[in-house]
Structure 1
């Protein structure tokens, strides 16, 4: 394992305003993939093998096959086929549909690049008229994320500990608290996770435990890696369960679904201090593009 140093998290409003974007294929509501997956297909076309293609794009062999399986499933047809071994050995080939996808993507990408060049020129000409807008654009971009997870927490990676199977990711939240996530090595590589990168952490409300008081009280005795302290800002009671929302420092909020009996036992009500606790393995990570 290796531990990376923790750089300061940049202020989004202080970053220089620029124009960027990415191209991806979508079939209905299903995302087929973007640059990384197309690059893998192109590498297979060039090398004729999964081993060579995975090395060319910086993936593990297993990660490459996992990506291929996902593409085949999402496309609804085979894109990559294993060639039977013979005198010269086996190999990997792309189907005609996969070859067309590469060419189509490259054509769209060229047009997209021209569009970005024109947009960048327009932004440059506007100059001071867009001063301070970079942070707004970043936030608007994150609004496009759609997920069933109740909690969507934005932050920047401050540390990344590599493991043989899983990686541990530390994320600085806007209010100064830190969130930990455990993801597979293949997932970290596929997402391009690195120190300083912005990520969205997804946590189901049903995965969040609540403890009365701050993180240095009873919550400190829990085995859960994540303990985020705040105050109850909303409480919606039902016949069996209740939804409790905590306001954390920096304007962050996190919701938990707990039983009505737990609400009463903990004495939870609006304004009361409480801590949200959940395992690092309960956190899913997402990145833009």
Structure 2
């Protein structure tokens, strides 16, 4: 059994934005035609237009605008307000998915769900706060290496002091968070020949967002976990949206949270 949930935004008691409507807007933005976007989504033009009218009726500003003339004979494009709504929806949808993932940790165990709900939600500057289950503890003098099971089959190793393990009361099977700064994740297109003891996780690049000399990379792991990495522009090599890439993370850069 798995806890799941769909994300919708409502306004004035009516459905406003959902994944299907966002996809329609994004296709219109890409193609420049409501008819062609509807065809790609295998829906009628009438159905597409009704969805757009429904969204426009609830929106604070128009979502689309017509263009006339030009080489293509005119078409349809999104307004800046519509693009802002799309960005907001994706951010809220990702937060919703993270919330559902925390519930899903419990499986069909109500008592474990109660423990998860009783946790204090973390507020840190780290972009990556990943729900995990502690699956093993290996002690080596002053330090201990923890193996953390993320959603799906992905795992991480974190090295912290043995004293921290004791002070936090960590034990196998307990629920934790792996906290990682985005600047401590290095993303490459080809896995290194030697991992040098680092964590190596494969996934698919979802977004690449450039700002100044930096680039933010969203990497979706096979198990569903989303990693956010921050790289310098000059370090970007053969990384493209939709392609497989690899995240390299030192165990020393993974903080444990409860």
User: Residue deviations 1:154-189, cap 9 Å, x none?
Assistant: 111111011210001001111211100000011010
Q: Is the 8 A contact 1:224 1:277 kept in 2?
A: no
Is the alpha carbon distance of 1:168 and 1:273 closer, same or farther for their aligned partners in structure 2, counting shifts above 3 Å? same
Aligned CA-pair RMSD: 2.0
Q: What secondary structure sits across from 1:13 in the alignment? A: coil
Select the structure with the greater relative contact order (CA < 8 A; seq sep ≥ 6): 1
Is the alpha carbon distance of 1:185 and 1:234 closer, same or farther for their aligned partners in structure 2, counting shifts above 3 Å? same
Q: Which residue of 1 aligns with 2:139?
A: 162
Q: Is the 8 A contact 2:106 2:116 kept in 1?
A: no
Structure 1 stretches of at least 4 aligned residues deviating more than 6 Å after TM superposition: none
- Deviation of the 1:13 alpha carbon: 2.4
| Cα distance in 2 between the residues matched to 1:251 and 1:140 | 21
Q: Which residue of 2 aligns with 1:261?
A: 234
Q: Which residue of 2 aligns with 1:149?
A: 126
1:249 to 222, 236, 258: 222
Q: Give the helix-richer structure, 1 or 2.
A: 1
Q: Which residue of 1 aligns with 2:107?
A: 13
Q: Which residue of 1 aligns with 2:243?
A: 272
Matches within 5 A, 1:34-49: none
Q: What secondary structure sits across from 1:162 in the alignment? A: strand
- Deviation of the 1:205 alpha carbon: 0.6
Point out where structure 2 has 5 or more consecutive residues left out of the alignment: 1-103
Correspondence 1:282 to 2:240: no
Q: What is the number of equivalent residue pairs in this alignment?
A: 155
- Deviation of the 1:222 alpha carbon: 3.0
Correspondence 1:238 to 2:215: no
Q: Is the 8 A contact 1:232 1:269 kept in 2?
A: yes
User: Residue deviations 1:235-255, cap 9 Å, x none?
Assistant: 110220101010012321001
Q: Give the strand-richer structure, 1 or 2.
A: 2
Q: Is the 8 A contact 2:145 2:158 kept in 1?
A: yes
Matches within 5 A, 1:46-65: none
| Cα distance in 2 between the residues matched to 1:11 and 1:282 | 24
| Cα distance in 2 between the residues matched to 1:252 and 1:236 | 19
> TM-score with structure 2 length normalisation?
0.56
| Cα distance in 2 between the residues matched to 1:138 and 1:145 | 15
Is the alpha carbon distance of 1:14 and 1:220 closer, same or farther for their aligned partners in structure 2, counting shifts above 3 Å? farther
Q: Which residue of 2 aligns with 1:47?
A: none
Q: Which residue of 2 aligns with 1:212?
A: 189
Q: Which residue of 2 aligns with 1:103?
A: none
- Deviation of the 1:219 alpha carbon: 2.9
